[in-house]
Amino acid sequence: MQPVFSIVIPCYNEEIVITDCHRRLSEVMQGLGESYELIFVNDGSRDATPVILDQLSENDPHVRVVHFARNGGHQIAVTAGVDYASGEAIVIIDADLQDPPEVIPEMVERWRAGVQVVYGKRRSRAGETWFKEKTAELYYRLMQNLTDDKFPRDTGDFRLVDKQVADVVRAMPEHSRYLRGMFAWAGFKQEPLLYDRDKRFAGESHYSIRKMLKLAIDGILSFSNKPLKLPLILGVFWTIAGLVTMLVLLIMNLTGYPVGLWWLAALMMVLSGSILGVLGIIAGYISRIYEEAKGRPLYIVERTTGFPKEGQQ
């Protein structure tokens, strides 16, 4: 039997929070009164997380656990959870209870009303450092400028997605995954749900600066080709600047002003400009190769009407 709801919970060394996480999620899900499964993805934890998860699944038939052989990272863990989920709606939530499970019923309500992606949007971030807050703000602004698809700000991976949207993301084989972007890219009806992000319930963040930086760079490189346009722009600029300088020097020369070694400078500008320009052309091809390599679907059909139904031609 397929459950109505699948909850995906990535866990990396979360031994102190897992039991409470399971308790609070179960309370909320029982309250909804529909079938559900809790899919915990043990992302290669090195503490007691796998043992606790196995115990939980022994005592609670709702619990399913995917154990990774090695740490694959948060985005990969969530991807696996979504792959294993069989529910009509899938909720992605952190194990550390920073995203309050109590928001889920509200998400479900919106989903029932026909919204296919209900993403949590942070109204406040409790217990986050000044540094994290500022870098996040700056990053979202940069993303908005670099990408044509408008990505929602202050949005993490906490969200409810309809099976149909999950299927689209399942069909996107890219390795560098920026899931919030991929869900946004899929289209369909998407709505934010404001919530207050809590402090980490216990333990500490597993997102090191390095992991955060990687996620940030993945976000930009997976959804924007604009950085690749830089060489062409610079190339055109320097070539024109060099040619104009040459023209000025020519006029100066003809009117008898000494130009000295300025010729060399002008020549350098034109030469570097052409090199950058050629790099820009190569970047144009690379950007096409990259688009192809991502292997994303060309279009996403939400529904069709008027076609004969399967089996009754």
Specify the stretch interacting with Mg ion by CB under 5 A; choose among 92-100, 120-128, 178-186, 244-252. Answer: 92-100
Residue 157 interacts with Mg ion (CB under 5 A)? no
Total binding residues toward Mg ion, as defined by CB under 5 A: 2
Q: Which stretch in 145-153, 162-170, 203-211, 278-286 sits in contact with ligand UDP by CB under 6 A?
A: 203-211
6 binding Mg ion? (CB under 5 A): no
Binding of residue 14 to ligand UDP (CB under 6 A): yes
Identify which of residues 156 and 242 has a Cβ nearer to Mg ion in the complex. Answer: 156
End-to-end CA distance of the chain: 30
Contacts (CB under 6 A) with ligand UDP, residues 207-236: 207
Q: Does 77 bind ligand UDP (CB under 6 A)?
A: yes
Question: Pattern of binders to Mg ion over 95-114, x per CB under 5 A?
Answer: -x-x----------------
Residue 11 engages ligand UDP in binding (rule: CB under 6 A): yes
As a three-state string, the secondary structure of the chain is CCCCEEEEEEECCCCCCHHHHHHHHHHHHHHHCCCEEEEEEECCCCCCHHHHHHHHHHHCCCEEEEECCCCCCHHHHHHHHHHHCCCCEEEECCCCCCCCHHHHHHHHHHHHCCCCEEEEEEEEECCCCHHHHHHHHHHHHHHHHHCCCCCCCCEEEEEEEEHHHHHHHHCCCCCCCCHHHHHHHHCCCEEEEEEEECCCCCCCCCCCHHHHHHHHHHHHHHHCCHHHHHHHHHHHHHHHHHHHHHHHHHHHHHCCCCCCCHHHHHHHHHHHHHHHHHHHHHHHHHHHHHHHHHCCCCCCCCCCCCCCCCCCC
For ligand UDP, which stretch binds (CB under 6 A), given 143-151, 170-178, 204-212, 223-231? Answer: 204-212
Site map (CB under 5 A) of Mg ion, residues 50-89, x = contact: ----------------------------------------
Tell me whether residue 8 or residue 269 sits nearer to ligand UDP (CB atom). 8
x/- contact string, 53-72, with ligand UDP (CB under 6 A)?
A: ------------------x-
Query: Please, what is the minimum distance in Å from the beta carbon of residue 291 to Mg ion?
Result: 33
In 3D, which of 130, 125, 138 has the Cα closest to residue 213? Answer: 138
From the CB of 190, what's the least distance to Mg ion, in Å?
23
Contact assessment for residue 66 and residue 42, using Cβ atoms and an 8 Å cutoff: yes
43 makes contact, choosing from ligand UDP, Mg ion, none, with CB < 5 to 8 Å by partner type, with ligand UDP
152 CB-near residues (< 8 Å, 6+ apart)? 119, 121, 180, 184, 190, 192
The tokens for 171 are 């069909």
| Residue 12 within binding range of ligand UDP, rule CB under 6 A | yes
Position 38 contacts ligand UDP (CB under 6 A) = no
Task: Report the site for ligand UDP in 79-138 (rule: CB under 6 A).
Answer: 94-96, 98
Site of interaction with ligand UDP (CB under 6 A): 10-12, 14, 43, 71, 73-74, 77, 94-96, 98, 205-207
| Interface residues toward Mg ion, by CB under 5 A | 96, 98
